[in-house]
């Protein structure tokens, strides 16, 4: 399991003198509460699933063992509605057909699903018969239903057009002691039960009364739960959907906690000065790793702790070379989490301390 990723982490631990913890594992079935699936085939025989590697050929997954059962149920219901409504799935070669992708996210507390229908159209009218069918057949199992318009020839899943057809504007999850809200366009972990353990581990590293600066904060899975005992929490995010989720989460916090939060909207590089005077720098960047300006500002700010949550061991290893170069920081611990069983992917919690 995760041989390649663990090999990189072993080399990093050996070269830096850091402790490499055993891989933290969770459930191996029914753990995935978030799925983005392609829709292809014909109206009479739709296929919903994932692409084969390096192709647009669909692997139909009506009963995937790693998906939450409610995702599989939603896929089966949608297939029936596609057939009954006569909706044409998307065809890549001709750029014709309506329904391109499906996103399904399960709200753990209620078991209801947030559904996004991604369509090859700039307006929502053509999908309304399908939406009505899906609403009727899912009933109370449907949290909310969204249309996304993506009429361009592109491999990007979501387009620029959004419309809420029914239900609340965001899922609500309890993470790290706080309510965290996820609009459909915001990033969210698919293995939330194990991601909860990453959040708990991060919280356990942050001392009471600290000034925390978090870049790439998303909807606030880490930062919102720290407001109760931090002196100040600075939260940076650039995605408008993530910022809306963050706004909803902050609105749920007591007034004295909201007063300790500073939201810095925009690219992390443009907000890098947020680390000045921070006791704890917390970063959870995309797979490419830290933006150069963020990395340099952290080194100049010299926080007592740097907590780096990485989804790319190679970019983590590269960033570590720069972070450790002047001896101001030391890498103390690496803890890998197997968020995607059966793959080589691990999420890594890296702890740095001031030398």
Query: Domains of the chain, with CATH numbers?
Result: 3-26+191-354 (3.40.50.150), 34-167 (2.40.50.1070)
Which pLDDT tens digits describe the chain residue by residue (355 residues)?
A: 445 889 999 999 999 999 999 999 999 999 999 999 999 999 999 999 999 888 888 899 889 999 999 999 999 999 999 999 999 999 999 999 999 999 999 999 999 999 999 999 999 999 999 999 999 999 999 999 999 999 999 999 999 999 999 999 999 999 999 999 999 999 999 999 999 999 999 999 999 999 999 999 999 999 999 999 999 999 999 999 999 999 999 999 999 999 999 999 999 999 889 999 999 999 999 999 999 999 999 999 999 999 999 999 999 999 999 999 999 999 999 999 999 999 888 999 999 999 8
- Positive or negative: CA dihedral 200, 201, 206, 212: negative
Q: Is 271 a catalytic residue?
A: no
- What predicted TM-score, i.e. pTM, was given to this entire model? 0.95
CB atoms within 10 A of CB 227: 24
Instruction: Enumerate residues 6+ apart whose C-beta is below 8 A from 173.
Output: 107, 108, 109, 179, 180, 181, 182, 192
Catalytic residue among 119, 219, 271, 311: 311
Query: C-alpha distances in angstroms, 155 versus 95, 100, 158?
Result: 12, 10, 9
Tell me if 134 sits within 8 A of 141, measured CB to CB.
no
What is the spatial distance between Cα 38 and Cα 150, in angstroms, rounded to a whole number? 13
């Amino acid at each position: 399991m995760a041989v390649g990723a663990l090999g990189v982490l072993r080399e990093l631990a050996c070269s830096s003198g850091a402790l490499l913890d055993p891989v933290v594992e969770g459930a191996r079935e029914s753990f995935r509460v978030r799925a983005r699936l392609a829709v292809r085939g014909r109206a009479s025989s739709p296929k919903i699933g994932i692409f084969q590697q390096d192709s647009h050929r669909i692997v139909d997954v009506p009963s995937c063992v790693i998906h939450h059962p409610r995702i599989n149920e939603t896929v089966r219901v949608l297939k029936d509605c596609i057939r009954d409504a006569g909706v044409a799935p998307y065809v890549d070669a001709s750029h014709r057909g309506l329904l391109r992708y499906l996103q399904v996210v399960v709200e753990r507390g209620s078991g209801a699903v947030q559904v996004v229908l991604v369509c090859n159209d700039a307006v929502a009218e053509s999908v309304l018969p399908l939406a009505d069918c899906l609403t009727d057949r899912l009933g109370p199992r449907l949290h909310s239903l969204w249309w996304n318009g993506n009429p361009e020839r592109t491999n990007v899943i979501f387009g620029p057009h959004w419309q809420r057809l029914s239900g609340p504007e965001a899922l609500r999850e309890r993470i790290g002691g706080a309510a965290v809200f996820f609009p459909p366009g915001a990033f969210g972990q698919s293995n939330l039960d194990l991601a909860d353990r990453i959040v708990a581990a991060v919280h356990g590293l942050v001392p009471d009364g600290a000034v925390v600066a978090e870049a790439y904060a998303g909807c606030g899975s880490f930062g919102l739960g720290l407001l109760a005992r931090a002196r100040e929490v600075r939260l940076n995010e650039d995605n408008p959907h993530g910022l809306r989720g963050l706004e909803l989460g902050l609105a749920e916090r007591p007034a004295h906690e909201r007063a300790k939060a500073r939201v810095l909207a925009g690219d992390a590089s443009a907000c890098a000065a947020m680390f000045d005077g921070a006791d704890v720098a917390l970063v959870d960047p995309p797979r490419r790793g830290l933006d150069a300006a963020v990395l340099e500002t952290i080194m100049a700010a010299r926080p007592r702790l740097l907590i780096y949550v990485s989804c790319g061991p190679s970019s983590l290893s590269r960033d570590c070379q720069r972070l450790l170069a002047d001896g101001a920081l030391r890498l103390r611990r690496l803890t890998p989490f197997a968020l995607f069983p059966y793959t080589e992917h691990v999420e890594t919690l890296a702890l740095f301390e001031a030398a």
